[in-house]
A = this chain, B = another copy of it.
C-alpha cells in the first residue's frame, strides 16, 4: 500500500518523504534502546556500551573511553555498574598489568538478547517480503549511509 502509492510518485517527492521517515525511524530506535535498558535495569548508555564491548570483543577501559568519548572516571563507574550486575567482568591483562580488560559475560546476557528478539523478528518479517534486489538496495543504502555518518561525525568532532 505504501509501496504502491510511493511507486507512482516522482523521485523528488519520494526523497522528500524519505528524510522525515528516516528521522522518525531513527528516533523510534533510540526509544527502543531506552525501553530495553529500563527493563534490564541499566541506563541506556550503559546498555549501548555493553553492546559495544560485545561487538568489539574484550576491551580495556581506555578503549571504551575513546570509543564512547567518556572520561576515564566515567568509564570506571560504568564498568563498576555493569560488573555489579554481573554483565561484564574485569580481567587483568597478562601482558600489561596496568590494563584492565572488560569482558562481557555471555552466559549472563541471554535475557537481554531475548528483549531484542521480538524486534528482530518483526524486522525479519518485513525483510522477508522483499525481493533479492530490494534487499540489495537496502543493504547498499545502510552501508553507504553508515559511512557518510561516520565521516560527518569525524568532521564535527575533529577541530573545525
Contact check, A130 vs B137: say whether CB atoms are below 8 A apart: yes
Which A residues between 5 and 53 are near B, CB-CB below 8 angstroms?
6-7, 9-11, 14-15, 17-32, 34-36, 38-39, 48, 51-52
Determine the distance from Cα of A21 to Cα of B32 in the docked complex, in whole angstroms: 17
Q: How many residues of A contact B (CB 8 A)?
A: 72
User: Looking at chain A's contact residues, is the secondary structure mostly helix, strand, loop, or mixed?
Assistant: helix
Q: A5 → chain B, closest Cβ, in Å?
A: 9
Known contacts A137-B134, A138-B137; decide if A35 and B153 are in contact (CB<8 Å).
yes
- With A48-B27, A153-B31, A155-B118: A21-B146 Cβ-Cβ less than 8 Å: yes
What are 17 A-to-B residue pairs whose CB atoms are below 8 Å? A6-B135, A6-B136, A9-B136, A11-B130, A22-B123, A27-B51, A30-B48, A31-B68, A35-B153, A115-B156, A118-B152, A119-B152, A122-B152, A130-B137, A134-B134, A134-B137, A137-B138
